[in-house]
Structure 1
Amino acid sequence: MVKSEPSPLYTILSERRKRWTITIASLVTFLSPVSANMYYPAINQLARDLHVPPSRINLTITVFMIVQGIGPFLIGGLSDVYGRRPIVMASLLIYMGVNIGLAQQTSYPALMALRCLQSFGSSTASIVCSSVTADLIPRAERGRYMVYSSLGVTLGPAIGPIVGGILTQFLSWRSTFWFLAIFAGIMTTLVLVFLPETCRVMVGNGSVSPPWWNVPLVQYLHRKAEDHESMRSQIQNEEKSPPPKRPTPLDSIRVAMEKETAAIIAFTTLLFCGYTSVLSTLPSQLEHKYRFNALQVGLCYISYGAGSLTSRWTIGRLIDWNFRRHARKQGIEVIKNRQVDLTLVPVEKARLQITFPVIYCVSVAIIGYGWLMNYQVNLAGPLIMLFLVSHLISGATSTLITLVVDCHVRRPATASAANNMFRCMFGAGAVAGAIPLINLIGIGWTGTMIAFIWVLCSPTLWYVYFWGHSFRKGKEEYMI
């Protein structure tokens, strides 16, 4: 194995501070999915109180998902240039104020307008915070940090319906928005006090101090003279990012139109559409087939949450193991807290070799879920299959999103915003059409159709597997 001169430390933060920082950022990403999923149990109460049919309340869900895709597209790239903390703080303050308004509104137009602003604030904060892991963790180690980086995205859809069902059943739909406002206030405080700036354009590997207004309060309280000396000794080893150009919303479109990235985003969108179709129709299926109330429906989402969470310890570890294996094949030594040059490592093959078996397995699992639910077997059957679907789809989606960030490491928020925009825009259509499709052909054939589409379109990723590395090398050589 050929040993080259070691690259600079990827971050000067200790292991404990890295985990703490990623956990705080991940909890912010909790807001977007929990805002969507807490809403479901309250739909009937909202319709009665606002004197509108449930179909009009469902329209606010579709609009929420559309804005969920557009918001980060407009704002996300700013954080790659001007820093994570200012964008996150502004988004959280907007989100907190909007939830207070939602808890007090009494008309359908106000509900519609405020839900759009709620989606904007939560999705923008979530996309920006999802980039913190890319700022702090080198490519070879991202898999094992999935348990921290995906904590909020995992817990949001699982906890949202449970908490929403409890609050709606025992208090009222207004209490769900008060809950979100209080949680946003807590997260705003944590970000203000503890979350450091991680944008590598501003702080590099952490050895460059950000502007005084962008420093967490805890650094003022605990700063010592030796900390400054340590910074001066580390700064000479810092790998500086080139000065960025002024960001525009078109940056996300340009990223999404690159050959390799477009293929990955297209398949990630298909996975998301199929998965959200199943997840969004679970309440209606449980109510229709098992006569469950809002609280019982919410408890069934525990199976989903458990499956999503456990994938971080299985598929997440496999991702890192396979990356190291490919690096060794190229004679590259993977050193902890050091970045690996992806010009030599075929990261596409390293990631997708784990993804392909997962995709084909989840296709089988979603067929099993559909037909078990269709024949109304013992509840344990559909819930076990839901666990497997969640476990596998979370792993596949996380791997593909990691690959997108790997290919755009200098602008992770821009890349994430591009991916999020297409997922949410098409996901909104999938959610709107899921129930009519199930009413037409049944849940069993719906699950079978989703699996068939995934398998039929999987050659999109095989295209990336065989030619993605050469496309990326050609682009990097052109840029040089």
Structure 2
Amino acid sequence: MAKHPLRVYQKTTKVQWNHNEVSTSPAEKKQIDITGPFRILISKQSAPIIVFLAVYYAVWQMSITAMSSLFEDKYGLTETQIGLTFIANGVGSMVGTLITGKILNVDYRRFKARHDAHIASSNTEDDVELANTRKRQENEFPLETARLRLVPLFSLLQCASILLFGWTIQYPYKVHIAVPIVSTFITGWSAVSMQSVVMTYLVDVFHDRSAAASASLNLARCLFAAGGTSFAMPMINSIGVGLAFTVCVAVQGVAVVSLAVQWKFGAKWRREAKILGQTLRYLCTVVRLMLIEIEKSVDKNIYGP
């Protein structure tokens, strides 16, 4: 047994053979949709929430980009010491990845349980009408409320931490260096948490194109971050650290409008997109059947009945 474990396993393990499960037809190949991420990026179902997250991601990256220069200039840290200050941001990001995901799952299950209980208590119809009602209410499930309701909390945390970071570094001789370092922990945690929330929401909306949704989000946030980090230090040098990051927080406040738009109109836009998709699929099916009938009639005229 020790020398030939696979042979012993094959002889002692018996699996019932099911001929019905055997399929000789090749698996259907999925076509690569190169334009998918771009269409999702400009779609009204996702554009507002993507812009919102991209702005917050850009401000986060601007603070990280400015950290090394600011700590060296304001606190006189060496390169090794500057490198150690980034640990707080990394730990905050790790906490946001590990813990916030579980919090989101628990919160979503609790919200859905309350929603289902409310539906069950309000239904008094017979079986057929009950099934139709449940199907209609499932389509009207408030996905935006269920998935995005923690985003304002993380948004406030990131805005507060960015302000704390900027104004404490503005006065290095009055504030201990531990304060801006702790603020980077909060920034990393809140930023990654918001990314988790928005990414989960986009996957729910585009469940059949989750990879394209992820690609569109990554494209937008990287473009915004590239633009933001390019003028982070010039803005800091011109108006000061505190005012520079206050401007960043003001831009984040304006971006909250995108979140509000998504929250208010997201469900309506999803229903419209679903109806449009069903209509297009129906028209494609009709056209395909018409082409088949035309081909049959042409063959009959050429080759006879």
Q: Give the TM-score taking structure 2 as reference length.
A: 0.72
Q: d(CA) in 1 for partners of 2:15 and 2:81?
A: 57
Question: Is the counterpart of residue 429 in structure 1 residue 252 in structure 2?
Answer: no
**1:386 offset after TM fit, Å?**
1.1
Matches within 5 A, 1:62-73: none
Q: d(CA) in 2 for partners of 1:261 and 1:347?
A: 13
- Aligned partners of 1:269 and 1:422 also within 8 Å: yes
TM-align CA RMSD: 3.2
Q: Aligned letter for 1:474?
A: E
The equivalent residue for 2:134 is none
**1:462 offset after TM fit, Å?**
1.2
Q: d(CA) in 2 for partners of 1:231 and 1:411?
A: 35
User: How many residues matched?
Assistant: 247
Question: Is the counterpart of residue 306 in structure 1 residue 111 in structure 2?
Answer: no
Partner of 1:259, secondary structure, is coil
**1:245 offset after TM fit, Å?**
5.8
The equivalent residue for 1:373 is 169
Unaligned runs of 5+ in 2: 1-5, 118-136, 279-305
Flag the 1:342–1:320 CA change in 2: closer, same or farther, 3 A: farther
The equivalent residue for 1:21 is none
The equivalent residue for 1:325 is 110
**1:432 offset after TM fit, Å?**
1.1
Q: d(CA) in 2 for partners of 1:231 and 1:463?
A: 55
The equivalent residue for 2:290 is none
Identity fraction in percent? 24
**1:283 offset after TM fit, Å?**
0.7
The equivalent residue for 1:343 is 139
**1:230 offset after TM fit, Å?**
8.9
- Aligned partners of 1:303 and 1:387 also within 8 Å: yes
Q: d(CA) in 1 for partners of 2:35 and 2:201?
A: 21
The equivalent residue for 1:392 is 190
**1:248 offset after TM fit, Å?**
3.5
Partner of 1:437, secondary structure, is helix
Which structure is richer in relative contact order (CA contacts within 8 A, separation 6 or more)? 2
Unaligned runs of 5+ in 1: 1-219, 237-241, 333-340
Flag the 1:245–1:365 CA change in 2: closer, same or farther, 3 A: same
The equivalent residue for 2:285 is none
The equivalent residue for 2:53 is 268
The equivalent residue for 2:73 is 288
Q: d(CA) in 1 for partners of 2:55 and 2:13?
A: 48
Partner of 1:260, secondary structure, is coil
The equivalent residue for 1:468 is 266
Partner of 2:207, secondary structure, is coil
Q: Aligned letter for 1:467?
A: F
> Quick check: which has more Rg, 1 or 2?
2
Question: Is the counterpart of residue 479 in structure 1 residue 264 in structure 2?
Answer: no
- Aligned partners of 1:318 and 1:354 also within 8 Å: no
Q: Aligned letter for 2:190?
A: L
- Aligned partners of 1:373 and 1:382 also within 8 Å: yes
The equivalent residue for 2:294 is none
**1:343 offset after TM fit, Å?**
3.2
Q: Aligned letter for 2:165?
A: Y
- Aligned partners of 2:51 and 2:255 also within 8 Å: no
- Aligned partners of 1:271 and 1:397 also within 8 Å: no
Q: d(CA) in 2 for partners of 1:383 and 1:456?
A: 26
Partner of 2:195, secondary structure, is helix
**1:307 offset after TM fit, Å?**
1.2
